[in-house]
Structure 1
Amino acid sequence: MSRGLDNCNPGNIRQSKVRYKGEVRPSRDPAFKQFETPAWGYRAIFVLLDTYRIRHGLDTIRGMISRWAPPAENHTAIYIRAVAEAVGIPADRPLDTRDRTTMLRMAAAVSRVENGVAADMDEVAKGWELFASDARHSR
């Protein structure tokens, strides 16, 4: 099993001072966050991508993935292409991080690139419900 899936962190979100609901603390992984369930990990993906749009003005797949997976550490162009194809929209078209269909596809694509296997869409949907049910979208 991949590190991200083992950590219930399908987006491989790195350790930081930011705390998310459902995060396991302390994490047994020194580099990446761990979550209680995959759904909490998917929720964190939705929160982080929504934050990219709101706080950083990144409203395209290219903008979001360039921040998520910078070229210094990743094959960002390939990552962007894979996500855009999976979501079904051009990499430079603005997207709505509050649109369920778009974001389910995007989180599943991120998980696929990060972990090398198809996402469990039931868990992705559970993560969306956790995200959508929190009106404040707090971390």
Structure 2
Amino acid sequence: MTQLPRGLRNNNPGNIRLSKDKWQGLRQEQTDGTFFQFIAPMWGYRALIRTLQNYHRLHGCRTIAEYINRWAPATENHTSGYISAVCREMQVPTTFEPDVNDQATMCAFASAISLVENGIPAVQQDVLDGWKAL
């Protein structure tokens, strides 16, 4: 039997790295050492969506390419391929400017990131529950 990808095992579909942030829904004990672990997938999606919203608000990200350049920097990722994959999944150009307050847009964005990170399509109810928890 194949093991789930790390991001899904951690209920952290965006593979958000450990930091000083005190996210809602964190597991009491963080045993990964690199990535946050959440008690349920919805909390990982909530953190992913909130991070994207903060990229807009705090860092001026506007286009999909700008968000992904920050999310998956070239020092760690094949960023251009990541951007292409997210845009292909969302069926938008790299210059698309997502409305960070629109449920459908942000759930699609989070789902696309999760697919790239984990190689498995997102469970849409988990993404929607994450949005509802904002």
TM range (shorter): over 0.9
CA distance in 2 between counterparts of 1:116 and 1:47 reads 22
Could you say what the CA RMSD is over the residues aligned between the two structures, in angstroms? 0.9
1:104 and 2:107 equivalent?
yes
Alignment of 1:2-17 (within 5 A): 2-17=5-20
Aligned residues: 131
Alignment of 1:13-92 (within 5 A): 13-92=16-95
CA distance in 2 between counterparts of 1:6 and 1:44 reads 16
Letter in structure 1 aligned against 2:43: W
Structure 1 stretch displaced more, 43-52 or 87-96: 87-96
Q: Deviations for 1:19-66, whole angstroms, at most 9, x for unmatched residues?
A: 111112331110000011000000001100000000000011101111
Q: Per-residue deviation at 1:104? A: 1.0
TM-score by length of 2: 0.94
Q: Which runs of 5+ in 2 are unaligned?
A: none
SS of match in other structure, 1:43:
helix
CA distance in 1 between counterparts of 2:29 and 2:22 reads 11
1:124 and 2:117 equivalent?
no
Percent of aligned positions that are identical: 44
Q: Which runs of 5+ in 1 are unaligned?
A: 132-139
Letter in structure 2 aligned against 1:6: R
Where do 4+ consecutive residues of structure 1 move more than 6 Å? none
TM-score by length of 1: 0.91
